[in-house]
Chains A and B, each alone.
Chain A
Amino acid sequence: MPHRQGIPPAWRSKSEKYRLVGSKCIKCGSVYFPQKEFCNDCGVITAGFAFSGKGTIESYTTIRTPPAGFAGPYVVAIIKLKEGPKITANVVGEEVDIGDKVSFILRRLNDTTEGVIHYGPKFKKGSDPPASR
Chain B
Amino acid sequence: MKPVAIVGVGQTKFGENWHQSLKQMAFESSMAALTDAKLDKKSIEALFVGNMASGRFTGQEHLGPLVAESLGINVPAANCEAACASGALAFNQGWLAIQSGKYDVVLVTGVEKMSDVKVEEASLSLMAAGEQEWEGSAGLTFAGAYALMARAHMLKFGTTREQLAMVAVNNHKNGVKNPYAQFTFPITLEAALNAPLVADPLRLYDCSPITDGSAALILASEKAAKRFETHVWVKAVEQASDTLALHNRASIVELAAAESAAKKAYTASGITAEDVDVSEVHDCFTINEILCIEALGFSERGKGGKFVEQGKIAVDGENPINITGGLKAIGHPVGATGVRQLTDLTKILRGDMKEFQGAELGLALNVGGSGATAIVSILGIEK
Give the size of the chain B interface in residues (CB under 8 angstroms).
38
**CB of B270, distance to nearest CB on chain A (Å):** 35
Asked if A90 lies at the interface with its beta carbon under 8 angstroms from chain B, I say yes
CB of B148 within 8 A of CB of A59, answer yes
Q: A13's closest neighbor in chain B, by CB?
A: B133
Asked if B40 lies at the interface with its beta carbon under 8 angstroms from chain A, I say no
Instruction: Produce 1/0 per residue, B228-255, CB < 8 A to A.
Output: 0000000000000000011110001000
CB of B246 within 8 A of CB of A88, answer yes
- Interface positions, chain A 44-90, Cβ under 8 Å from B, are 58-70, 72, 74, 76-79, 85-90
Q: Which of B151, B198, B245 contacts A88 (CB 8 A)?
A: B245
Known: A13-B133, A61-B200. A78 touches B148 (CB 8 A): yes
Asked if B120 lies at the interface with its beta carbon under 8 angstroms from chain A, I say yes
Asked if B1 lies at the interface with its beta carbon under 8 angstroms from chain A, I say no
CB of A68 within 8 A of CB of B139, answer no
CB of A89 within 8 A of CB of B151, answer no
Measured in the bound complex, the distance between the Cα atoms of B142 and A65 in whole Å is 11
Which residues of chain B are within 8 angstroms of A34 by Cβ–Cβ distance?
Answer: 133-134
**CB of B129, distance to nearest CB on chain A (Å):** 12
Instruction: Produce 1/0 per residue, B114-134, CB < 8 A to A.
Output: 000011110110010001111
Asked if B187 lies at the interface with its beta carbon under 8 angstroms from chain A, I say no
CB of B141 within 8 A of CB of A67, answer yes
Known: A78-B246, A78-B247. A88 touches B134 (CB 8 A): yes
Asked if A98 lies at the interface with its beta carbon under 8 angstroms from chain B, I say yes
Asked if B273 lies at the interface with its beta carbon under 8 angstroms from chain A, I say no
CB of A62 within 8 A of CB of B197, answer yes
CB of B121 within 8 A of CB of A68, answer yes
CB of B137 within 8 A of CB of A63, answer no
CB of B134 within 8 A of CB of A65, answer no
CB of B149 within 8 A of CB of A59, answer yes
Asked if A120 lies at the interface with its beta carbon under 8 angstroms from chain B, I say yes
Which residues of chain B are within 8 angstroms of A58 by Cβ–Cβ distance?
Answer: 152, 252
Q: Which of A2, A59, A65, A85 contacts B252 (CB 8 A)?
A: A59
Which residues of chain A are within 8 angstroms of B201 by Cβ–Cβ distance?
Answer: 61
Measured in the bound complex, the distance between the Cα atoms of B316 and A67 in whole Å is 39
Which residues of chain B are within 8 angstroms of A120 by Cβ–Cβ distance?
Answer: 137
Instruction: Produce 1/0 per residue, B289-307, CB < 8 A to A.
Output: 0000000000000000000
Measured in the bound complex, the distance between the Cα atoms of B120 and A72 in whole Å is 12
Q: B248's closest neighbor in chain A, by CB?
A: A86
Which residues of chain A are within 8 angstroms of B151 by Cβ–Cβ distance?
Answer: 59-61, 98
CB of A88 within 8 A of CB of B247, answer yes
Q: A80's closest neighbor in chain B, by CB?
A: B247
Q: Which of A59, A63, A86 contacts B139 (CB 8 A)?
A: A63
CB of A76 within 8 A of CB of B197, answer no
Measured in the bound complex, the distance between the Cα atoms of B124 and A63 in whole Å is 13
**CB of A93, distance to nearest CB on chain B (Å):** 15
Asked if A133 lies at the interface with its beta carbon under 8 angstroms from chain B, I say no
Measured in the bound complex, the distance between the Cα atoms of B147 and A78 in whole Å is 11
**CB of B165, distance to nearest CB on chain A (Å):** 17
CB of A76 within 8 A of CB of B124, answer no
Measured in the bound complex, the distance between the Cα atoms of B118 and A13 in whole Å is 30
Which residues of chain B are within 8 angstroms of A66 by Cβ–Cβ distance?
Answer: 120, 123, 139, 141
Which residues of chain B are within 8 angstroms of A77 by Cβ–Cβ distance?
Answer: 148
Which residues of chain A are within 8 angstroms of B245 by Cβ–Cβ distance?
Answer: 88
Q: Which of A64, A67, A89 has the most CB of B within 10 A?
A: A67
Known: A78-B252, A88-B140. A67 touches B148 (CB 8 A): no
**CB of B231, distance to nearest CB on chain A (Å):** 44
Instruction: Produce 1/0 per residue, A87-128, CB < 8 A to B.
Output: 111100000001000000000011000000000100000000
In the complex, besides A61-B151, A65-B198, A68-B121, 10 extra interface pairs with C-beta distance below 8 angstroms are A4-B136, A34-B134, A62-B197, A62-B199, A63-B139, A64-B197, A67-B124, A76-B144, A88-B131, A88-B138
Can you report 7 A-B residue pairs in the complex whose CB atoms are below 8 A from each other?
A4-B133, A66-B120, A67-B124, A70-B139, A88-B247, A89-B134, A98-B151
